[in-house]
Structure 1
Amino acid sequence: MNANRHETSGPSRTQQITLRGPAELADALPFMLGFHPTDSVVLVALHGERGRFGGRVRLGIPSSPREWASTADHLAECLVEGGARAGARPDGIVVFLCQDPAPGETGRRVMERLRPFAQRLRTACGALDIPVYEALCISDGLYFSYCCPDARCCPPDGTPLALSGTTVMAATAAYAGVRVRGSLRDMEARLKPAGGPGEEEQRTALDAAAASIVPRLLEDPEGRERTEVRERTLDLARGILRRFANPDTPKIPKLRKDPKDPKVPAVPAVPTGVTGMTGVTIPGRPVTDTAEGATTDAADDALITSDEAAALVLGLQDRVTRDRAAEWMEGWEGTAALRLWRVLARRCVTPYQEYAAAPLALVGWTAWSTGDEPTARVALGLALDADPEYVFAQLLHQACNEGLDPESLRSCLRSERDSRTTSEQPSPASSRRVRTRASHRRGTLPTLGRAGRQTGARDRRAAAGVRPGGPATDRPGGGSPQHGGQRGTRSGR
């Protein structure tokens, strides 16, 4: 079986790596996905007589065996139909089942427990006239073959996986600049609340921000309060991006209070007329890309207070604000924004998990835009776990999985920002009234709106990009109601 790696130089633009046997297949899996899958079922398409790798699908292994049959049918159909749409129906499939043993369980026991699932996957692929050439179970540092009956190469007690970095696949991947980002579990942990003593403080800050910000988004018929919240949210985000780009500066810069509502957290002062981050020079640091992970997540968390995080999380529930925040997508802006969105996703503590859909979708978009597709897929999957109907995440997840080029969306966002910046610049011959109207134009992603006619109060909410939620509910595990009854109020998608 061959894994093609496209080179940009050399006499041949395509080099082939031949994988011989189950051991090298198991070793290649993390390099195909960009991470070590945990608790996952992965199907990889093969094409041609030599078994060239093609598309792949991954899903968490259902905990209930009752779901295995429907999951197997769904995965097989997705892989085959996806290949057919791309003009290359698979000629074969390789199946991987990856799961760590439970306490007191062995790798072989995991393999035997998942054997019916592996058989159901083979049957589902066979029903589509596509053979499964190999089905492997990877558990506890061992691999087991469901297809090879030869105990000499695939003993029933399993075969140890190759040491990391010692195989031809690892060497070739390193030469090509392909890196494995750890396990899927580790990647997801960076995007979820970790708990700890600061969780209650963050929950209190979210309650206060919801009581202050949500009414201004929903109950403002003229839209002035809504516009102020949007601008304050973006100003705060800009200030924190600068803080991330130059962490040596003071943590809390000069603040500008809101005279109308002292409850709303103060935001860093931003020079008048700054509408975007392009061209902004950070004192003492060149405007260049920085390597992801230059600072730890703990250091990033320390750069943002609970009140600031709460104001940003609530502000990003507004669709227009979120779409404008998506414009920080490349260069040093993209690097700093990716760190910021990760922090905000980790601050969505119980019972605000659903609010993580917005920052998680921004993590996915920024990672995809900056070339980190594995992180993008993981983040967008978590965004849809938080809110399965979040359209922004749905569109990005589909585009990323179909291998589309993010440059088309980047171009759209650049055009929106340039158009907005041009419209906001005052003209000497224009009247003050015209300048005021122009200064409030805001661009949005045109493909993210919902179809349908709305009237009355719903028109006002639609203009704000905010979707009202249900009545106030008690906090899980607590005996007191939410502040202001704002829990559950969400933005438009």
Structure 2
Amino acid sequence: MLARLRHCGGMTTHHSSPSVLRGAAQLLAGVPYLLNYRPERSLVLVGSLVDRARLGRQDKLQLPVTMMLRVDLPAAEDVAALVDQLASPVRLAVRERGAGLLDPLLLLHLFLYDADDDLAQALVPAAQERLRAEGAEVHAALLTRDGAYRSLMPEGPPRDEAAGAAVDASPEGDPEHRVPAVWTPLPDPSGVPAVADLVLQGRNPARSRADVAATVRTRDERAAARTGLSIAVQDLDDLGPDPLPALETLGRIVRGEVAPTPHDRAVVAMSLADRWVRDLVLGHWLPDVFTLQGLELDAYDRRLMRSLGALPDDPSDGLHRLFRLSGAVPVDWSAPLLTLAGCLAWRHGEGTVANEAVDLALEADPDYRMAQLMRHALSHGVPPWAVRRRAEAA
């Protein structure tokens, strides 16, 4: 059975100017920092959109990363199914993100971690053939094992016949960056300037994916029991807690302004169980993804949204606090908090964190609709911008 696709977001920084990773080898060195953990037995796909007409020019290109996906490597006999699975997000990126280009082409880097030779030799040609039909070209393919890498395209960079130009593995198209077909030590991250920017953001490639999952799944059962007692007391009131102070408290918790008491955790969890309140939170904190356009919001709804305040400047800080909060409420009440955290992680490019949060939400409540919708988006590699476009077009 194939693992789900993991949409990992784009290669972005918090700085005013983008970092540049020059060539496939530097990009390979940067992948663990972009993922924020060390991939193991994985395929990582990185794609950049370009207009085919630009490839024939002599000017140097710096291509932004349009999409980044990670998937567990399958057995060699399941390669065709994996490539078919990749086709949907690739097609979506070309169709929607390339809409402003005359002749969009998605240049793909494929990085295979810990793949055996049979799998590697089967996957690259299958991907070249299948993804070309979706408007993409496998630009470079690298196999990495034990601190070294080699090209899986020894014939050199793929040639784009429409442009009549060789597409090199570097963003600038400089032939000196071609990757040899022999085993070569991975670049030292300290010698890659763009990686330094990611280190300053607190990216941690020393973690494994299991470490990421453990952070999401950490629970404090003693605190959860106390929260449960407070929920039972709140349940004695037929009207339930007032969501206005509850959302104000949620905002303060996420910004790290208050250490939540059992009562705080109880009223927040109970308020978010109201799906209308939860949607107001998503619309306020993620307005570029979850549009409230067309909804009839009254004055109280707008007061609720204002009471939340802003997210912290560093979204990862807010995520960590949300996970601590979800781990300190009874499991039966945790799905809305986990789904909210998953949506925030997804919006900010933390695809692995988003997947773990949504998985855990569905374990707590398999019928929780928003978590089901998020699972569909993540499983099909749907990026946040596509959800907004579809909602506005509906």
- Aligned residue number for residue 180 of structure 2: 153
2:74/2:82 contact within 8 Å kept: no
Find 1:19's aligned residue among 19, 22, 34: 22
Say which structure, 1 or 2, has more relative contact order (CA 8 Å, 6+ apart).
Answer: 2
Cα gap change, 1:343/1:153 in structure 2, threshold over 3 Å: closer, same or farther?
same
Establish whether residue 75 from structure 1 lines up as the match of residue 86 from structure 2.
yes
- Aligned residue number for residue 319 of structure 1: 275
- Aligned residue number for residue 346 of structure 1: 327
Establish whether residue 164 from structure 1 lines up as the match of residue 138 from structure 2.
no
2:112 match: secondary structure: strand
1:245 match: secondary structure: coil
- The Cα offsets for residues 105-144 of structure 1, whole Å up to 9 and x where unpaired, read as xx5x645555434443333224446431221233443323
- The Cα offsets for residues 65-112 of structure 1, whole Å up to 9 and x where unpaired, read as 5654223112133213322222243253221223xxxxxxxx5x6455
The one-letter code matched in structure 2 to 1:134 is: A
Establish whether residue 384 from structure 1 lines up as the match of residue 363 from structure 2.
no
- Aligned residue number for residue 180 of structure 1: 203
- Aligned residue number for residue 84 of structure 1: 95
- Aligned residue number for residue 383 of structure 2: 401
- Higher gyration radius (CA): 1
2:142/2:149 contact within 8 Å kept: yes
Structure-2-length-normalised TM-score: 0.58
CA distance, structure 2, for counterparts of residue 184 and residue 390 of structure 1: 30
Cα gap change, 1:314/1:378 in structure 2, threshold over 3 Å: closer, same or farther?
farther
CA distance, structure 1, for counterparts of residue 318 and residue 13 of structure 2: 30
- Percent of aligned pairs sharing the same letter: 18
* Structure 2 counterparts to residues 102-251 of structure 1, below 5 A: 107=114, 110=116, 112-128=118-134, 130-148=136-154, 153-155=180-182, 158-171=183-196, 173=197, 180-182=203-205, 183=207, 185=209, 186-193=211-218, 199=221, 201=222, 225-228=238-241, 230=243, 234=247, 237=250, 244-245=256-257
Please list every run of 5 or more consecutive structure 1 residues that lacks an aligned counterpart in the other structure.
99-106, 217-223, 253-264, 269-307, 409-446, 448-493
Establish whether residue 55 from structure 1 lines up as the match of residue 66 from structure 2.
yes
2:189 match: secondary structure: coil
CA distance, structure 2, for counterparts of residue 160 and residue 39 of structure 1: 18
CA distance, structure 2, for counterparts of residue 202 and residue 8 of structure 1: 38
1:322 match: secondary structure: helix
- The Cα offsets for residues 298-357 of structure 1, whole Å up to 9 and x where unpaired, read as xxxxxxxxxx4x6754553332443455543625599775443111333478xx4x8544
- The Cα offsets for residues 240-285 of structure 1, whole Å up to 9 and x where unpaired, read as 569x4256xxx86xxxxxxxxxxxx6x36xxxxxxxxxxxxxxxxx
CA distance, structure 1, for counterparts of residue 374 and residue 269 of structure 2: 21
The one-letter code matched in structure 2 to 1:361 is: T
Please list every run of 5 or more consecutive structure 2 residues that lacks an aligned counterpart in the other structure.
1-9, 157-178, 283-304
Structure-1-length-normalised TM-score: 0.48
